[in-house]
Amino acid sequence: DFATLNLDEFDKVLLCVGRAVNSENLGLEAAGIATDKGKIVVDKNLMTNIDSIYAAGDCIGGYQLAHVAAYEGKITVENILGKNKEPDYSAVPNCIFTHPEIASVGLSEAAAGEKGYNTKIAKFNFLALGMAHVKGEPEGFVKLLVNSENEQILGATIFGIGATELIAILALAIRNNLDVTALSETIFPHPSLSESIAETVHNFHAN
């Protein structure tokens, strides 16, 4: 009843309403392609129940991110050419393009615990990052989740300027099962935002 509603004024309103499946009128049923609640069902190689038809991107559910869709598209083409590849989702960057930016990749602390990992945390604050001060945005941090047994990087979170760019470095590290030593032996440019990763690794070894 709108007559009983209170009216308030706000500077900004953020609506997070999710996404609805839009697969109608694609002729999926006529083609005999299996779906589940509107999403196209695929196997581990992104092939549908019809041997000659593959699907990738938002239409199959999953992450519903543009960069994941592009990756799945590449896998799909390779499989059409007979490569028999499976997508690897272990290092998908999740990015929020707010100000400051937020980005993460790999396992969260909770997920790592559920998988039985013993972990350590390494963190570095942008207050000690020269380039962050040069750009006038010294608020932020890098946090690494590390396997305490072999020092392999399991996950990462970055908050602050350049987070959505920097996370790609850590996605590469996780995808290739790198440990913190591999990063500590890498020369990062100075001054730069990327050296925040080197400083995070330094803090890990310092502790």
Per-residue pLDDT of the chain (207 residues; tens, 9 = 90+): 567 788 889 999 888 877 788 888 889 999 999 999 999 999 999 999 999 999 999 999 999 999 999 999 999 999 999 999 999 999 999 999 999 999 999 999 999 999 999 999 999 999 999 999 999 999 999 999 999 999 999 999 999 999 999 999 999 999 999 999 999 999 999 999 999 999 999 999 997
Q: Both 105 and 196 in a single domain?
A: yes
Please tell me whether residues 201 and 155 are part of one structural domain: yes
Same domain, 70 and 110: no
Q: Is 155 exposed, middle or buried (0-12, 13-18, 19+ CB in 10 A)?
A: buried
**Boundary (domain end) residue, out of 37, 53, 80:** 80
Other Cβ atoms less than 10 A from the Cβ of 85: the count is 16
The CATH number linked to 199 is: 3.30.390.30
Domain hosting residue 166, numbered range: 94-206
pLDDT score for 42: 98
pLDDT of residue 95: 97
The answer to whether the beta carbons of residues 117 and 111 sit under 8 Å apart is no
> Domain for residue 158, yes or no?
yes
* Domain shared by 132 and 158, yes or no: yes
Q: 58 and 144: one domain?
A: no
Instruction: Tell the burial category of 151 from Cβ atoms under 10 Å away from its Cβ (0-12, 13-18, 19+).
Output: middle
The answer to whether residue 143 is domain-embedded is: yes
Q: Can you give the pLDDT at residue 84?
A: 93
CA distances from 50 to 45, 55, 97, 99 (A): 12, 11, 38, 45
Q: Is residue 57 part of a domain?
A: yes
* Co-location of 72 and 102 in the same domain: no
Q: What share of the chain is helix, strand, coil (3-state, %, to 5)?
A: 35, 20, 50
* pLDDT score recorded for residue 81: 96
**Which of 38, 58, 80 is the endpoint of a domain?**
80
Shared domain for 152 and 72, answered yes or no, is no
In the chain, how many domains are there?
2
Q: Are 122 and 146 a contacting pair, CB within 8 Å?
A: yes
Nearest to 105 by CA among 187, 24, 165: 165
pLDDT recorded at residue 1: 57
Task: Report pLDDT for 23.
Answer: 85
- Asked if residue 128 and residue 158 are part of one domain, the reply reads yes
| Residue 75: inside a domain | yes
pLDDT of residue 181: 96
Whether 18 maps to a domain, the answer reads no
Question: Which residues are known to be catalytic?
Answer: 190
Residue 194 lies in a domain: yes
C-alpha–C-alpha distance, residues 69 and 74, integer Å = 9
133 and 56 together in one domain = no
Which pLDDT value is given to residue 69?
96
SS3 label, residue 55: coil
Question: Does residue 200 share a domain with residue 98?
Answer: yes
Q: Does a structural domain hold residue 20?
A: no
Distance CA 142, CA 172 (A): 16
User: Where does a domain end: 39, 57, 80?
Assistant: 80
In a domain, 36, yes or no: yes
- 204-to-133, 144, 147, 187 alpha-carbon distances in Å: 23, 9, 12, 17
